Structure 1
Amino acid sequence: MAVEKSTVTPMMAQFLEIKQAHPDALLFYRMGDFYEMFFDDAVHAAEALDIALTKRGKHDGEDIPMCGVPHHAAEGYFLTLIRKGFRVAVCEQMESPAEAKKRGYKAVVRREVVRLVTPGTLTEDSLLDARRHNFLAAYATVRDEGALAWVDISTGAFHVMTCPRVALGPELARLTPREVIVVDGVESEFAELVSDSGAALTTLGAAAFDSTAGEKRLLDLYKIGSLDAFGSFARAEVAAMSAVVEYLEITQKGKLPLLRPPVSEGQRSTMQIDAATRRSLELTHGMSGGRAGSLLGAIDKTITAGGARLLERRLSSPSCTLAVIQERQEAVAFLAGDTRLTADLRDHLKGVHDLDRALSRLGLDRGGPRDMAAIRNTIGHAQTLLSALSGDLPGVLISAASGLQGHDELLALLDDALVAEPPLLARDGGFIAPGYDSELDEARKLRDEGRSVIAAMQAEFIELSGVSALKIKHNNVLGYFIETTATHAGKMMTPPLNETFIHRQTTANQVRFTTVELSEIETRILNAGGRALEIEKRLFQSLIQAIIAQAGPLGALARALSEIDLTAGLAHLATSENWVLPKMDDSRAFDLQGGRHPVVEAALQASGSPFIANDCDLSEQSIWLLTGPNMAGKSTFLRQNALIAVLAQMGSFVPAKSAHIGIVSQIFSRVGASDDLAKGRSTFMVEMVETAAILNQADDRALVILDEIGRGTATYDGLSIAWATLEHLHDVNRCRALFATHYHEMSSLSAKLDGVDNATVTVKEWEGDVIFLHEVRKGTADRSYGVQVARLAGLPSVVVERAKVVLEALEKGEREGGTNRKAIIDDLPLFAAVPPPASVKEVVKESAAEARLREIMPDELTPREALALVYELRDLAGD
């Protein structure tokens, strides 16, 4: 946008100057009640927002493109632009037009960019999902050591961890940040990785990542003398945190949000789950991209937004610390055993607001009176919750109860200061309660009751002067004045009354006076509305300061409420869905009796169908080789065991009759088929890349679920890859694993490898059809029933019949020791020789049992005859 300033108006010159400082953002330039955009910004914004593109003036003989949006509705437009990959620079008027004119008649109103709106720096409720975090992350390296820092400025949460480059992908998959910052010049190295996580990539200069300057930046932010107050941080961690703070200073124009002290996380303290596994297991996102169909969507019984965010964090990062897991389980078990208390807590939590985000908005001067009311009301509900949490409590609830206390002084202040239902915006006024500030009460009285104030003053003047005919009147020339008859005026113009009443005007029949007090009250009445609003704004700022002073205790209160909500939600889930408390220890046990898939079970319950529970015991034979036909439930069985491990280590009950699980350090899943055309990868290549990651990373405490390894290539190639993979898992990784396959030849490995056992998903074949029983039992499947499944899928009957012929020929050749498959296939009759499909009546042959049933008259049977008939029909039907 190279435009000579001399050729444009002063206003347009100001726009161009500000735009030059923010070339990568759309400049929302405030003009009265609108944000307006010009030149290329207008073209891009009009297209993205689907609004009219118009023009304003000319430059070099050409129209200047322009579009605009109302300032009061700007948040919705911000969200649309952010989702489409834009950044927005918000440019506000820093003075009124009247103030600008004091500098000269043609002076332009002073404007400044007050904020950069980016994906990772959103705070408004309308721009955020209340039940999800909105993380901004930064990755730094110092001397080949990597670190990842992330912050949610809408809640103040600030975390950091050492993170080698190889672990960055899984960590971004866990956190799902909206924006990731890297040092300028290396963006090409991280572009694909960041894009895969769904985040926007942002770069900063190397100075922002300097660990020495960064340490000083952090010390200044928290006003402390040493970072040791928060723990020990590696240089790379300091560099990453420094970049986050620097970026916030840039985007928030120096007004930093309320950030909690940074918390250092250990990489091995949580279960490691890579991006492919998270997608496969649908932990927090279903295949459609939303919550529907995900584990999170199925188990979320939380009431509050903070509780929902805590649930997602726990589910995304299951703990590997046994003491932590058991402490959380103890709290859930306590509430699960007291359904009355759980119901009471959940009922009280319905009145709790999103304390973290209200506090953050107030800290950034983006909050309003309702945020204050939310804090007041939440503190009140916290006191109710505290009274309910009495007696002998588990450790988690004891800690939470302590966080509910100590807010009486702030509650009293906000109770006194605020009306019950304040307006959304401070500029609307009317949120300070009557009686809180005498000066405000007086201004409101003058604003709302000016006539009664004047009437009271008139009564005072009558009493003072003794002139009953005295009146206070008003006109547009004199304003308020005192009027009396000429007969009484002489008295008011002589001492001592003349010291109070000042003569202003004499008419034919009346004399008019004023007083110092009347002049003052006139000015105050005329300015009362504006003065009342100014007083409320001043009081609003004082209340913000009082709230910010309690940011630490309020943050603890928010965490306590979230913990109570999550614990009560998991307890409610356990009792309502008949889940069981798993036994957790440091062993290699993995024994689930009657395990169920929580998402599939919920879907079946909705349709009125039962879910078939299955056992899984990897304690002795740590690898199960699972065979059986497609559609029989192998993938469901694989996933449900992985999901149960995740639920157990986040501290929840699990969907099973009993569960004993030794800590699982990692979960890897290779289930399902997909290609990656954007990266030039076929389905088979994607499968091999994911399998390689598993074999290279899985340790002896990992849980691996694999489905159909090798299916994307030639039969013998696939079989050999699957065979070698299973041996590697057994001999090298030595992990617990479920390995599903159609290669029945692999079942012989159970005789060669001590840690491998065979299991199969059972089916029953009847009259050429296959019935899925969805039961997992020890043993092997004799066949895959692929042709029968093809029939169920609706393949043309002629194709199904032809497939049967080919299959029978191939199987016969193998039984007879044939090795030349080409010769066998050459001997098959031609496709066209397959007879046309018979009619339905010809295909479906009536069984002996059905024929016998047709002969029976049920109403004529005695009970003894009916019982005998049951035995007869059983014999006719066979096993």
Structure 2
Amino acid sequence: MTRPFVPDADAGAGDAPLVVPGTAAMPEAVDPGRITPVMEQFIEIKAANPDSLLFFRMGDFYEMFFDDAEVASRALGITLTKRGKHLGQDIPMCGVPVHAADDYLQRLIMLGHRVAVCEQTEDPAEARKRGSKSVVRRDVVRLVTPGTITEDTLLDARRANFLAAVARAKGGAEGGDDRFALAWVDMSTGVFRVSEVEGDALSSAIARIEPRELLVPDVLFSEDGLRAIWRQSGAAAVPVPRAFFDGATAATRVAAFYGVASLDAYGQFSRLELQAAAAVVGYLDRTQIGQRPPLDPPRREGSGGTMAIDAATRANLELVRTLGGDRRGSLLSAIDRTVTGAGARLLAERLAAPLTDPEEIRRRQDAVALFLGDATLRADIARRLAAVPDMARALSRLVLGRGGPRDLMAVAGGLSAAAGIFGRLVEIADPGAEVAAALASLAAAPHDLGAELVAALDDELPLLKRDGGFVRAGCRADLDESRALRDESRKVIASLQQGYVEKTDIRALKIRHNNVLGYFVEVGPNHAPALLAPPLSALFIHRQTLANAVRFSTFELGELEGRIARAGEQSLAIELEVFDRLLAKVIAAGDAIKRAAAALAVLDVAAALATLADAAGHVRPKVDASLAFRIEGGRHPVVEKVLAEEGQAFVPNDADLGPEQGVGEGGRIWLVTGPNMAGKSTFLRQNALIAVMAQMGAFVPAAFAHIGVVDRLFSRVGAADDLARGRSTFMVEMIETAAILNQAGPRALVILDEIGRGTATFDGLSIAWATIEHLHAVNRARALFATHYHELTALSERLERVMNATVKVREWKGDVVFLHEIVPGAADRSYGIQVAKLAGLPAAVVERARAVLTELEKSGGHAPASLIDDLPLFTAARRRVAPVEAEAVPRLFELLDAINPDDLTPRAALEALYALKAERIKSGS
């Protein structure tokens, strides 16, 4: 990055000045072989933060040096320059402007870097009092990491930003399983949760939380079997010392964070959960340099309260992002109609953790039904919510001392909207439990504070409080007086400039200002001699000569500058006093503000799901404690949305996986056959997604749905490998299938697609066969099993809960027409050749495939010798090696011996070739 030279706060501290390419080089201030005091300071601070890029504040820039500069220049695409020397070598340097630092921070954080922000902690004038060579004091005020950011510009408004920590308790000498605890916080909103899980559920729990940063004890960081979990989490995994997880002091450290003597008032937590929680608060204390984030008290999430969905299933079903990592095309993208960032985050949280308590599910459904039944109310609430700023995140920045006037106004706007929404909903006679709880939080919100904030803050607000100008005129009489004096002084400056123009007769004379010289008179070099000569030299005092300008000062300007400075300083001091007073009130009402923000998010989600249900024709599912799973007219919400955008209709299908009266115990297994592209995978996925939507409290894309609570959801769909861990596609398939067979119970829903296709035909068929038998006899789960192995359909004759279903197709003039309709029965064939034709395989390949298929079907699947002989490849080879008929050899050799190529004309050569060809045909060889 190149920029004009500006003396930094350490001018005179023995630093080598910045030399910008294309400008005259300034002389070195020090011996180029000796490191400067400022560089010594940088090295000292960097040594205390070795794992972070150091943003070193120098004037209006954050500078980086040495390796940090080289890393940052590559990551940010900014120019690498140099500043002074160290050990005889140039010191690499690059920098970013302070006013644009957030943009650069975002890019570094997205790339996985951590940044230590080092600010000047004293005024340069104070440093100069200690001597001309003194360096301004600096210190790190904050470590910026992926899980601890709070700035709007660095955060995704529609996604939570979790920092998580994981602690482990070994299984013991008896061979028991390891247990893990997770603690996770969103510093931008204050959410704090803890949970304890079994070892085999750790990956699923991390996948549900989706942390941006994951704290791992250093002893676990590289442990075999766990490294893959950290890698697959998608989080920035950070090894931290074991002391962060010390169990003996964990409860005391967490209590000290909240300033209480005991955590009993917050609930009961296991020792392992407290270890993870202590690691989180310890890490926050370290990264925030003593600033205490406004975290809610920790809340324990018990196991079994939400549907367990492992990482592979989440990925296969594309719940919050597609397999390619995009949000577009996911279930979340298809159902999201929220209008606030907080509502979008709550919707994603509910989608990631569907409930297993039917009563809690009904509470959420009642809220959706309330808005679905009143379109006018729904539209009015959505309009009001759309104007709600992100109060929770604004409050967090204010408490941390990073907030500004716009954050105060965000709180004001949120409270104002909360009052209006409360007034609109309080008239409803029976709002339901969830909406009633939200109304109670809105009623307790500090509405008077919101009105006070609106009255005090101007309509146009600066980003930073230090810029001033954010207090509304009329709020403080003394501020209005100070501003009038300041503004009058500026008029005097304009008048003074006009007087100097008339006195010197220099029309180009201007009065300007900068932070170094203050106010000064500036003229071009051609006019400077007049001001340097009597009589004008008595008025104008020379200050600075530049290449294209000469600057002067006057006694009048000096006095006026003092008046303006005092007026400006007084105005800013009053505004900062107003800011601090309002900030104190906001912080005091912080809990009520956070509850109001959470209530608005709940209403946003309910109204959004009602909007979706109305637009897409979703129905309220019946969810209870039975083992039912009956879907009529079910549809895939994502595929249906895409087809609707293209003007096409989705073909709905039924499914009934619940126990059949009088037919044993356990759910049914539907064995689905049919050709590729006919819709088997879509059918499998849509039923899983309907279960997820039903238990998150949403209405579902179906004509009717009755679902007994699903406690665990498993999906093995598609093909993927894990080459980094030495796992082939088939190995990954078997690992995921093993997890399902080892964990699924009667309340699970299992989705399996093409099990056994990654190996030899009979091996794969055998594995698929045994898998179905195990699901039927041991797991007894509700299941959908799609396959191309038609032999498996015979299982329905001896396994009472296995039902055959197939996708209807029709053949028309040799082509296959997919009807996408699931009906009872089994497919008689796979139509693979027809699909290959649709895919565009060459016609010759398609025809040859038909011929080979016919021969294989005749021989029962075994390749006969006649078929091998007739294969074009082997036929050609046979012809190449077949001996020439004995009687043909002498005559052919005679013809060849009679030919002398050197004597042949082109015509003679052609005739000789025809003769050889004729003899070849005649002999039949």
- TM class by smaller structure: 0.7 to 0.9
Deviation of the 1:266 alpha carbon: 1.2
SS at match of 1:76: helix
1:605 aligns with 2:639: no
1:25 aligns with 2:59: no
1:338 aligns with 2:374: yes
Deviation of the 1:353 alpha carbon: 0.6
Whether the 8 Å CA contact 1:287–1:293 is kept in 2: the answer is: no
**Unmatched segments (≥5 aa) in structure 1:** 454-519, 835-879
Deviation of the 1:437 alpha carbon: 2.8
Alignment of 1:677-756 (within 5 A): 677-756=723-802
Q: Which residue of 2 aligns with 1:419?
A: 458
Q: Deviations over 1:249-308 (max 9, x none)?
A: 111111021101111101210001011111110000013312111000000000000000
Deviation of the 1:655 alpha carbon: 0.3
Q: In the alignment, which of 77, 93, 100 is matched to residue 50 of structure 1?
A: 77
* Structure 1 ranges of 4+ moved more than 6 A: 520-524
Deviation of the 1:409 alpha carbon: 2.6
Residues 54, 718 of structure 1: alpha-carbon distance in 2 compared, 3 angstrom cutoff: same
Q: Which moved more, 1:239-248 or 1:138-147?
A: 138-147
SS at match of 2:649: coil
Deviation of the 1:827 alpha carbon: 5.6
CA distance in 1, matches of 2:468, 2:211: 37
Q: In the alignment, which of 547, 556, 565 is matched to residue 586 of structure 2?
A: 547
Q: Which residue of 1 aligns with 2:428?
A: 391
Q: In the alignment, which of 43, 60, 63 is matched to residue 36 of structure 1?
A: 63
CA distance in 1, matches of 2:767, 2:286: 52
Whether the 8 Å CA contact 1:809–1:824 is kept in 2: the answer is: no
Alignment of 1:132-143 (within 5 A): 132-142=159-169
Q: Which residue of 1 aligns with 2:441?
A: 403
Instruction: Give the aligned residue type for 2:653.
Output: N
Residues 415, 830 of structure 1: alpha-carbon distance in 2 compared, 3 angstrom cutoff: closer
Q: Deviations over 1:53-98 (max 9, x none)?
A: 1111112221111111111111111111122221111101111211
CA distance in 2, matches of 1:413, 1:6: 60
Instruction: Give the aligned residue type for 1:170.
Output: S
1:119 aligns with 2:152: no
Alignment of 1:463-482 (within 5 A): none
Deviation of the 1:764 alpha carbon: 0.3
Whether the 8 Å CA contact 2:35–2:87 is kept in 1: the answer is: no
Q: Deviations over 1:412-447 (max 9, x none)?
A: 321332123322211111111233333323322322
Instruction: Give the aligned residue type for 2:259.
Output: K
Instruction: Give the aligned residue type for 1:424.
Output: L
CA distance in 2, matches of 1:670, 1:168: 19
Instruction: Give the aligned residue type for 1:784.
Output: S
CA distance in 1, matches of 2:735, 2:52: 38
Alignment of 1:161-560 (within 5 A): 161-189=195-223, 190-389=226-425, 390-392=427-429, 393-406=431-444, 407-449=446-488, 526-560=565-599
SS at match of 2:701: coil
Whether the 8 Å CA contact 1:813–1:824 is kept in 2: the answer is: no
SS at match of 1:696: helix
Whether the 8 Å CA contact 1:632–1:774 is kept in 2: the answer is: yes
Whether the 8 Å CA contact 1:332–1:568 is kept in 2: the answer is: yes
Q: In the alignment, which of 670, 678, 691 is matched to residue 624 of structure 1?
A: 670
CA distance in 1, matches of 2:58, 2:807: 69
Residues 112, 451 of structure 1: alpha-carbon distance in 2 compared, 3 angstrom cutoff: closer
1:757 aligns with 2:795: no
Q: Which moved more, 1:821-830 or 1:384-393?
A: 821-830
Q: In the alignment, which of 607, 624, 646 is matched to residue 692 of structure 2?
A: 646
Structure-2-length-normalised TM-score: 0.80
Deviation of the 1:539 alpha carbon: 2.2
> For the aligned residues, what is the CA RMSD?
2.1
Deviation of the 1:534 alpha carbon: 1.9
Q: In the alignment, which of 863, 869, 873 is matched to residue 821 of structure 1?
A: 863
The alignment of Structure 1 onto Structure 2 pairs a total of residues equal to 762
Instruction: Give the aligned residue type for 1:539.
Output: V
Instruction: Give the aligned residue type for 1:634.
Output: K
Whether the 8 Å CA contact 2:212–2:236 is kept in 1: the answer is: yes
Instruction: Give the aligned residue type for 1:530.
Output: E
Q: Deviations over 1:842-862 (max 9, x none)?
A: xxxxxxxxxxxxxxxxxxxxx
Whether the 8 Å CA contact 2:33–2:85 is kept in 1: the answer is: no
Whether the 8 Å CA contact 2:33–2:86 is kept in 1: the answer is: no
Deviation of the 1:526 alpha carbon: 4.7
Deviation of the 1:102 alpha carbon: 1.1
Identity %: 57
Instruction: Give the aligned residue type for 1:179.
Output: E
Residues 524, 717 of structure 1: alpha-carbon distance in 2 compared, 3 angstrom cutoff: same
Whether the 8 Å CA contact 2:489–2:560 is kept in 1: the answer is: no
Instruction: Give the aligned residue type for 2:592.
Output: P
1:158 aligns with 2:196: no
SS at match of 2:443: coil
Residues 157, 8 of structure 1: alpha-carbon distance in 2 compared, 3 angstrom cutoff: same
Q: In the alignment, which of 67, 92, 95 is matched to residue 65 of structure 1?
A: 92
SS at match of 1:404: helix
Whether the 8 Å CA contact 1:304–1:353 is kept in 2: the answer is: yes
Residues 117, 522 of structure 1: alpha-carbon distance in 2 compared, 3 angstrom cutoff: closer
Q: Deviations over 1:756-776 (max 9, x none)?
A: 100001100111110000000
Q: In the alignment, which of 64, 86, 89 is matched to residue 113 of structure 2?
A: 86
CA distance in 1, matches of 2:108, 2:458: 36
Q: Deviations over 1:302-337 (max 9, x none)?
A: 000000000000000000011100111111112111
CA distance in 1, matches of 2:806, 2:561: 93
